[in-house]
Amino acid sequence: MTDRAPVIMIDGDLPTAASRAGTGRRAPAAGPGRVPLALALPAAAGLAFLVLPLVGLLARTPWSQLPARLAAPGVVDALRLSLVTATAATAVSVVLGVPLAWVLARRTFPGRRLVRALVTLPLVLPPVVGGVALLLVFGRRGLLGGWLASTFGVTVPFSTTAVVLAETFVAMPFLVISVEGALRAADARYEEAAATLGATPWTAFRRVTLPLVTPGLVAGAVLCWARALGEFGATITFAGNFPGRTQTMPLAVYLALESDPAAAIVLSLLLLAVSVAILAGLRERWISTP
Amino acid sequence: MRPDGPHTLLDAHLVASRGGFHLDVTLTAAAGEVVALLGPNGAGKSTALRVLAGLHPLDAGHLNLGGAALSGVPAHARPVGVVFQDYLLFPHLSALDNVAFGPRCRGLGRAEARRVAAGWLDRMGLTAQARAKPRHLSGGQAQRVALARALAAAPALLLLDEPLAALDARTRLDTRAHLRRHLADHPGVTILVTHDPVDAMILADRIVIIEQGRVVQAGDAATVTRQPRTDYVARLVGLNLYRGRGSGHTVTLAGGLTLTTADVVDGEVFVAFPPAAVALYPQRPAGSPRNTWPATVDGVERHGDHIRVHLTGPADTAADVTPAAATELDLTVGRQLWAAVKAAETRAYPAAG
Amino acid sequence: MRHLRTGTVAGAVALVLTGAGCAEHRATGSASQPTGSVTVLAAASLTESFTRIGKDFERAHPGVHVTFSFGGSSTLAQQITAGAPADVFASASPSTMKQVTDTGLAARTPSVFTRNQLVIAVPKGNPKRITGLADLAAPGVKVALCAPAVPCGAAAGTVLDAAHVTLTPVTLEQDVKAALTKVRLGEVDAALVYRTDARAVASQVDGVEFAQSASAVNDYLVVALRNSPNPTGAEAFADYVRSAAAEAVLTGAGFQRP
């Protein structure tokens, strides 16, 4: 070895939503090259900090019992419920969150700062508190729940719908923030150009704005989905815990931890494996650089 | 000169504010006419264009196009097409789909809109680029796609914002000629915003000059070039311009200098003459019928194949001399010279109206 | 902390004084009188009673400071086996205590110091007129139980079996307090919780006693921990928990004599 400093190669970095938001300008592409030591050391430490707990999980996994554990009753139910509810919560977040992000990014109105702060509130609110708050709204004696029950005979808590609501509450801010950032980075004059071509604001949004922010939207939806998948506190408080109906993987993991830590590790591992597989697949399709 | 009566298609009095800036401009144009809005940066040209397009609200005044009032009509409902300075071609759509966007929004089906768009691209000589995404188009091609996109929606009013500014000099020449052909074919009104007098003169039938949100002069290219009414216009068209008081064949300038003119004038007048009409001498030329005055060299710059000399004195003047003459005159800053202009080379015209 | 040299900087001296004081108490803790601080990990259902018992203990032994960490028994057991520094463990079930004794972390054999049993917690006034376990299976009655994996859930299973009642709860909560919360919020009509938990929120919840509760009596065990930094304090507190004074506090809260 000569006197060269250690060289670390980093390839195919994930582009940020903003740099690909269709402004026509592009950030310089990531490429191979020397990483300064002052960045390499903390980067390596950060990576180790994030990865080591995973290593700990893998080290404690009872590999020999794995097939039997995975075949245990309820495991598949919990996984299926987790995937279904996280996907539904992401869909709800997209339908409600994208218009919200557009309003925040494109319109000025009194109290916009306050609205933005309120949107990010679920990020700082302990999820358990979020669950209680949802009960106070949708519960039997809640602000809306009482009316829903008396008018339609619908009770939300302890249902799969409640799981979706809890996950949406906690995960939607990730989508809104991501899409709003992408919208801010995208040139609003494209919408003006569309208007001069006869596009109504809705057409301009659908045919111009949305395609421009697609990378940001996908990134936000992925974050949202991942957050929904891992949701625990708001779910167990608002939706309760019942196998097949409201017991998602994180709830199953938590309860397994009470009685059978090895089972909890297996469940966690399964959740991780499935989500990593899905995220990697999505990234291949949507997020990676062409 | 002004179109009016049944031929007037555009009749606008645009009053708008943007930041601390105030725009108050009257604009009329006949069908088929190309009007250039010419002015320095920040004069309000772009604001005027945005108001016409419906992208900026009209505070007062009126905006009629073909007899219909447009103020209050949202941008997407106006029969207006815009070619933006940086084109703003939708990056996710091919050239064809960019051009088809307008027809689609105006209610055509996808196939029909594409057929119309293909026709426009063909007219622009861009059939080969139909499937290309904007980032793969050259500057000149992108400009033509932008023009096709604006025209494909068949606007009654076509707005062009500095259509050639983003192009390099070589492409600019070709594109300008191309643009001129298409603007001549456009049956509606074309308003062209530019700060380049050459673009204005070549592309427009009529020039409206805007400074600080007001119209300072309007007319055909020949009139504006011959009789500038502000320093900005005079500089644009390369004339020395002075304001003074006329009496018969003499005009007394504000600085006290008296010039003899070929035109007979009275009252407040402008006097203009080109820099090439100014002759420079080391000493006062004797026994000449010319206007002469002492002048000090303030700056020297190369200007094409001649030298432009900036002079101070009773009248600030630009003079063009040959490189040979420049060497002979020893043109260093601060050098005292005499300037002379023949009366026949001056033009004098009333300042009012 | 034990190897402090004479302080040279005033600030440093002030800073270490508290720590040094603590170390000193522990160093002299080998005497028969307990001193210093005692850290107690106790089951969540003991929160109210142990807080009072701790104050009484401090009053009886001036100079001793008791610190509590309340939580689910199994969580606390895992913390102890993972090496959490603690002096005393009070668990709500023999099985969770067994995790600690199995790893050899108990200083002696744990002893049962109190018992708890289930009641049916219903919203104040008992709107659904629930009088026994059979009423819980009625249509339209929403019931919250603890998950079978946690002690109150196991106990609930036992009493329901004993009563030959089969019911489908709307939720299986992760601990007894969570089940009780669902009653307090009015989201369920009833929950099987410990009598002590229901009594702690008597202003919002009524506890309905039922005969079969005797079939699932929950034993609470206490033990001093082997790796205790303060063995004398630990033993003293574990003894005090079994005293008549502590028993009075516990029975006052709804616990039963062992």
Residue owning tokens 């933006």:
B84
In the numeric block, which tokens belong to residue B25? 């401009």
∠ CA C213-C215-C217, rounded to 5°: 75
Identify all chain C residues contacting A56, using CB atoms and an 8 Å cutoff: none
Identify all chain A residues contacting B150, using CB atoms and an 8 Å cutoff: 196-197
User: Which CATH number do you get for residue C180?
Assistant: 3.40.190.10
- Is the pLDDT at C2 greater than 80, yes or no? no
The verdict on residue C19 lying in a domain is: no
Residues C179 and C64 in one domain: no
Residues C100 and C136 in one domain: no
Domain count, chain A: 1
pLDDT interval class at C19 (50, 70, 90): very low
Residues C229 and C206 in one domain: no
Residues C110 and C169 in one domain: no
The verdict on residue A156 lying in a domain is: yes
The verdict on residue A57 lying in a domain is: no
Closest by CA to C46, choosing from C82, C80, C108, C89, is C89
Residues C237 and C208 in one domain: no
Q: What is the pLDDT of residue B188?
A: 93
Q: What is the pLDDT of residue A29?
A: 63
Closest by CA to B104, choosing from A144, A64, A198, is A198
- Is the pLDDT at B10 greater than 50, yes or no? yes
The 3-state DSSP class for residue B75 equals: helix
Q: What is the pLDDT of residue C26?
A: 41
pLDDT tens, position by position, B317-344: 999 998 888 888 888 888 999 999 988 8
Q: Which residue range is the domain that position C161 belongs to?
A: 118-216
The verdict on residue A250 lying in a domain is: yes
DSSP assignment of B1-37 equals ----GGGEEEEEEEEEEETTEEEEEEEEEETT-EEEE
CA distance C176 to A270: 28
pLDDT interval class at B224 (50, 70, 90): confident
Q: What is the pLDDT of residue C93?
A: 86
pLDDT interval class at B209 (50, 70, 90): very high
CA distance B306 to B103: 51
Contacts of B328 (CB under 8 A, 6+ apart): none
> Which of A241, A257, A260 comes nearest C171 by C-beta?
A241
- Contact between residue B149 and residue B106 where contact means Cβ atoms under 8 Å apart: no
pLDDT cut 90: percent of chain A above it:
53
Residues C61 and C125 in one domain: no
pLDDT tens, position by position, C202-225: 999 999 999 999 998 989 999 999
Q: What is the pLDDT of residue C84?
A: 85
Please indicate whether, in this complex, the C-beta atoms of A135 and C149 are within 8 angstroms of each other: no
The verdict on residue A276 lying in a domain is: yes
Per the prediction, chain B carries an average pLDDT of: 89
Closest by CA to A80, choosing from A168, A174, A169, A163, is A163
Residue owning tokens 């080391």:
B282
The chain A residues in contact with chain B (CB within 8 A) are 22, 24, 187, 189-190, 192-201, 203-204, 207-208, 211-212
In the numeric block, which tokens belong to residue A159? 């249902």
Contacts of B204 (CB under 8 A, 6+ apart): B34, B35, B36, B192, B221
Identify all chain A residues contacting C172, using CB atoms and an 8 Å cutoff: 240-243, 247, 255
In the numeric block, which tokens belong to residue B227? 């009789």
For A205, how many CA atoms within 13 A lie in the half-sphere containing its CB?
11
CA distance A111 to A109: 6
Per the prediction, chain C carries an average pLDDT of: 85
Longest Cα–Cα distance of chain C, Å, equals 76
The verdict on residue A222 lying in a domain is: yes
Residues C210 and C233 in one domain: no
Backbone angles phi, psi at C118, to 5 degrees: -85, 150
Q: Which of B84-93, B157-166, B253-262, C208-217 has the lowest mean pLDDT?
A: B253-262
Q: What is the pLDDT of residue B254?
A: 82
Contacts of C141 (CB under 8 A, 6+ apart): C128, C130, C135, C189, C190
For A262, how many CA atoms within 13 A lie in the half-sphere containing its CB?
10
Identify all chain B residues contacting A199, using CB atoms and an 8 Å cutoff: 76, 101, 105
Identify all chain B residues contacting A198, using CB atoms and an 8 Å cutoff: 76-77, 102, 105-106, 153
Residues C53 and C87 in one domain: yes
In the numeric block, which tokens belong to residue B268? 């407040």
Residues C102 and C82 in one domain: yes
Domain count, chain C: 2
The verdict on residue C15 lying in a domain is: no
- Is the pLDDT at C125 greater than 50, yes or no? yes
In C170-241, alpha helices (H): 176-184, 195-200, 231-241
Query: What is the complex's ipTM, to 2 decimals?
Result: 0.79
Residues C102 and C129 in one domain: no
The verdict on residue A42 lying in a domain is: no
Backbone angles phi, psi at C188, to 5 degrees: -125, 165
| Torsional sign, CA C75, C77, C79, C81 | negative
The 3-state DSSP class for residue C171 equals: strand
Residues C159 and C137 in one domain: yes
Does this model's pTM top 0.80? no
Flag whether C touches B (3+ CB pairs, 8 A cutoff): no
* Mean pLDDT computed over B55-77: 93
Full set of structural domains in chain B with CATH: 5-233 (3.40.50.300), 240-350 (2.40.50.100)
Q: Which residues of chain A have pLDDT under 70?
A: 1-29, 283-290
* B120–A contact, CB cutoff 8 A: no
Residues C210 and C228 in one domain: no
* B153–A contact, CB cutoff 8 A: yes
HEC per residue, chain A = CCCCCCCCCCCCCCCCCHHHCCCCCCCCCCCCCCCCHHHHHHHHHHHHHHHHHHHHHHHCCCHHHHHHHHCCCCHHHHHHHHHHHHHHHHHHHHHHHHHHHHHHHHCCCCCHHHHHHHHHHHHHCCHHHHHHHHHHHHCCCCCCHHHHHHHHCCCCCCCHHHHHHHHHHHHHHHHHHHHHHHHHHCCCHHHHHHHHCCCCHHHHHHHHHHHHCHHHHHHHHHHHHHHHHCCCHHHHHHCCCCCCCCCCHHHHHHHHHHHCHHHHHHHHHHHHHHHHHHHHHHHHHHHCCC
pLDDT tens, position by position, B310-321: 999 888 899 999
CA distance A260 to C99: 11
Q: Which residue range is the domain that position A152 belongs to?
A: 64-287
